[in-house]
């Protein structure tokens, strides 16, 4: 029984991985159990028995995407010192993560937001919103820490800086994905550091590694 359960979990993981690839290529709304079954050479009933409905599959894809963002962007970044070194690491990791996904959607939270922004509220739309808010909350905490460390100017508005950083990342996703602009990676690095320099406290030196 234990071996059967383990095999079922491995199969479910393969299903979610395949579904994530399809969602990255074609969008969450286009994702179907039939397409996943064809990609894996499984029956529709085999996929359904492990993930349930199409909406359940979409939600599982979003959860897997969120877990990957945590593992690849935020966990490594947390090894850096509090404040700006950590914020810089988050942005480097996030940019690299997006570049690896650039042939697909770039970011499921961003592409999903545009797919579902004018749809009625649903569990899927709420999951996209929650994923975006969690990401922005992590940036906000790090910005507040940077202010507490005296690295940012007094009176820095964390919400404003979060908005500006997130806007930069949406811009680089647009250029990588839609315009196929290969210089987007260097442009986001330049834009980010100009932005941070505009908030930096007077006399605060840049630490090693803060430039890309």
List, for residues 42-100, the tens digit of each pLDDT value. 999 999 999 999 999 999 999 999 999 999 999 999 999 999 999 999 999 998 888 77
Overall fold of domain 63-199 = Tetracycline Repressor; domain 2 (1.10.357)
List the chain domain ranges: 63-199
Whether pTM > 0.95 for this model: the answer is no
State how far the Cα of 43 lies from the Cα of 160, in Å rounded to an integer. Answer: 49
List the beta bridge partners of residue 200: 152
3-state secondary structure the chain: CHHHHHHHHHHHHHHHHHHHHHHHHHCCCCCCHHHHHHHHCCCHHHHHHHHCCHHHHHHHHHHHHHHHHHHHHHHHHCCCCCCHHHHHHHHHHHHHHHHHCCCCCCCHHHHHHHHHCCCCCCHHHHHHHHHHHHHHHHHHHHHHHHHHCCCECCCCCHHHHHHHHHHHHHHHHHHHHHHCCCCHHHHHHHHHHHHHHHHECCCCCCCCCCCC
Look over the chain and give the mean of its residue pLDDT values, rounded to a whole number: 88
Specify the pLDDT at position 9: 67
- Residue partners of 69: CB distance under 8 A and separation at least 6: 94, 97, 131, 135
Does residue 117 have a pLDDT over 70? yes
List the beta bridge partners of residue 152: 200
Whose tokens are 């930069």? That residue is 168
Does residue 8 have a pLDDT over 70? no
């Amino acid at each position: 029984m234990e071996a059967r359960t383990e095999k079922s979990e491995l199969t479910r993981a393969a299903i979610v991985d395949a579904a994530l690839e399809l969602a990255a290529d074609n969008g969450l709304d286009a994702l179907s159990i039939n397409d996943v079954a064809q990609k894996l050479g499984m029956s529709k009933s085999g996929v359904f028995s492990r993930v349930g409905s199409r909406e359940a599959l979409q939600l599982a894809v979003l959860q897997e995407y969120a877990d990957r963002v945590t593992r690849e962007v935020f966990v490594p970044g947390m090894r850096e010192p509090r404040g700006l070194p950590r914020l810089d690491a988050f942005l480097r990791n996030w940019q690299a993560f997006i570049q690896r996904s650039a042939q697909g959607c770039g970011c499921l939270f961003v592409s999903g937001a545009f797919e579902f922004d004018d749809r009625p509220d649903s569990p899927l739309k709420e999951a996209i919103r929650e994923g975006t808010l969690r990401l922005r909350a992590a940036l906000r905490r790090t910005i507040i820490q940077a202010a507490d460390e005296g690295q940012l100017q007094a009176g820095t508005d964390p919400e404003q800086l979060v908005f500006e950083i997130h806007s930069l990342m949406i811009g680089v996703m647009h250029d990588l994905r839609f315009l196929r602009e290969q210089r987007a990676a260097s442009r986001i690095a330049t834009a980010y550091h100009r932005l941070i320099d505009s908030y930096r406290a007077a006399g605060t030196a840049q630490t090693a590694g803060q430039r890309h």
